[in-house]
Structure 1
Amino acid sequence: MISALDHIEKAQEAYSLMDTEVIADKGIKEPELNPALLSVMVRFLDANKITCAPEAGNTMSDLEQRLADKSKKRRAVGNVVHLTDE
């Protein structure tokens, strides 16, 4: 599961570094985690009662920090939909 998350995160980072003209010309879409895989991960964690809690004295675990960073980035961009007259 961590490997899949790391892979998609690296692909998203590479996408963000690409030239916007290349993205537009070739119709490249931003990499996303497969919803079915994400669903399986969530069910596995839930069925095995696996949770994520930082150790006592640790203000934020690595995973919690990564999720917080992604949330901040998403809030900065928001759900932007470009409308055209077409």
Structure 2
Amino acid sequence: MAKGPAKEGTLGDLHNRVAEVMIGALDQIKAQQEASDPGNEDMPPPEPNSALLSVMVRFLNDNKITCAPENGNQMSELEKKLAEKKRKRVGNVVHLHDED
């Protein structure tokens, strides 16, 4: 017994809940990492599941979520280096080291 398509509000709620679950998972991993003992080599800090990270990246990409790096952070420094550097391209390969 089909009820028809979901209402926009229902889909918005689902979207928000998915985002909240993802944020909660990252918060839980961060808390576990902070609680882990860095000196204990037998039990390294937990790492996020690669499948979970892949789903999160896809979620952000599908929703066209992007960011511009702030001045002074590592991404902006990398962006500057790549912009300043003359790069040779071979297909989709970018050479990051000078060829001597």
Query: TM-score band, normalised by the shorter chain?
Result: 0.3 to 0.5
Question: Structure 1 or 2: larger helix share?
Answer: 1
| Higher normalized contact order (CA 8 Å, seq sep 6+, divided by chain length) | 1
Q: Under a length normalisation based on structure 1, what TM-score does the superposition of the two structures give? A: 0.48
